[in-house]
Amino acid sequence: VPELPEVETVRRGLQQATSNLAIAGGDVLLDRAIAYPQSASDFIAAIAGLKVAQWYRRGKYLLARLDRPDAETPDPGELVPTPHGWLGVHLRMTGQLLWLPRHTELQKHARVRLFFPQERELRFVDQRTFGQMWWIPPDTDPAAIVTGLQQLGPEPFSADFSTDYLVRRCRNRTRPIKNALLDQRLVAGAGNIYADETLFLSRVRPTKPCGELSEGQIETIRANLVKVLQQAIAAGGTTFSSFLDVQGINGNYAGMAWTYGRAGKPCRICGRAIERIKLAGRSSHFCPRCQSL
DNA sequence: CATACGTCCTGGCTGC
DNA sequence: TGCAGCCAGGACGTAT
């Protein structure tokens, strides 16, 4: 399941592989994978002939700034309207972007192909078909098309994601802290794996109501989320999932989940069996002894 | 406004 | 061996 560190790993790979290369054309194998425009052929026609100038990440969204092939490499900027539009991607559950030789045999779950020079191809493979791609037209705010960007909370590494901010957003709230961490409006990029790991390191139960956390606990959770995400990025994404980077390589995040996917197994600290409960429709894993706060 | 829940989807796994 | 049923979960729409 690609969360922020996996998406960032993909962004870096895309930047390396495709920046300043022109999109020669493409093929949409599953129309549903194109969220905008409605017609898959319009999508391909819109981006064909433009070059990928720069890849950005916002939460778990990827955005490529498009440009004319003869344009200078633009300065890195913000996600703002540009004269040649954007290409947006969300991998959701099982999406993969693979940089392949064009003749590579089509995977069963290949959904979209984007052709590049020298017989290279960026291929979107997605078993569960939740992943999506958008074309953002010229001079249009990406958030007007990729509506999920509108409500997205602060990036975890930004100054906006401060303890003060989190304390304010937790005050008088009753929902479990685990649910809050998964809410992309609160903070962008966390998912089930890193939320569970963050709460383990913070010694806080996933069920703990936000409003009952002390300021110290909130600061601990904030700092641990940042740490967990940074370490996972440094490792090139997680091993425990089907995640692949653009070169088809699995991540290297130590294979060292404290609790995620370890229900019934002994806690790596105290030996007690890791418990699994359902929160916000997902599995939450925690150690009943270590996470007593 | 805050919170909860059903929905989309495919394939792997479990248990009978 | 076959197969029904459950599980995985990001984000969105709707209900309370």
Model confidence pLDDT, tens digit, residues A235-281: 888 766 668 889 888 766 655 789 988 888 899 999 999 999 999 88
Q: Could you tell me the distance in Å between the CA of residue A281 and the C1' of nucleotide B4?
A: 10
**A107 Cβ within 7 A of any nucleic strand B atom:** no
pLDDT band at A122 (very low <50, low <70, confident <90, very high): very high
> pLDDT by residue (tens digit) across A190-229?
999 999 999 999 999 999 999 999 999 999 999 999 999 9
* CB half-sphere exposure, A36, CA atoms < 13 A: 16
Per-residue pLDDT at A255: 58
pTM of the model: 0.95
Average pLDDT across chain A, whole number: 92
d(CA A27, CA A266): 48
Distance, angstroms, CA A53 to C1' B5? 41
CA–C1' gap, A197 and B16, in angstroms: 36
Q: Which nucleotides of C are covered by protein (CB under 7 A)?
A: 7-13
- Asked whether residue A118's C-beta has any atom of DNA/RNA strand B within 7 A, the reply is no
Q: What is the b/e burial string over A254-291, where b = at least 16 CB atoms within 10 angstroms of the residue's CB?
A: eeebbbbebeeeebeeeeeebbbeebbeeebbbbeebb
- Asked about A3 being catalytic, the answer comes back as yes
| Residue A275: active-site member | no
Q: Are A255 and A167 in contact (CB under 8 A)?
A: no
Radius of gyration of chain A (CA): 20
Taking residues A95-123, report their average pLDDT.
95
Helical axes A192-202 vs A215-234, angle rounded to 10°? 130
CB atoms within 10 A of CB A50: 20
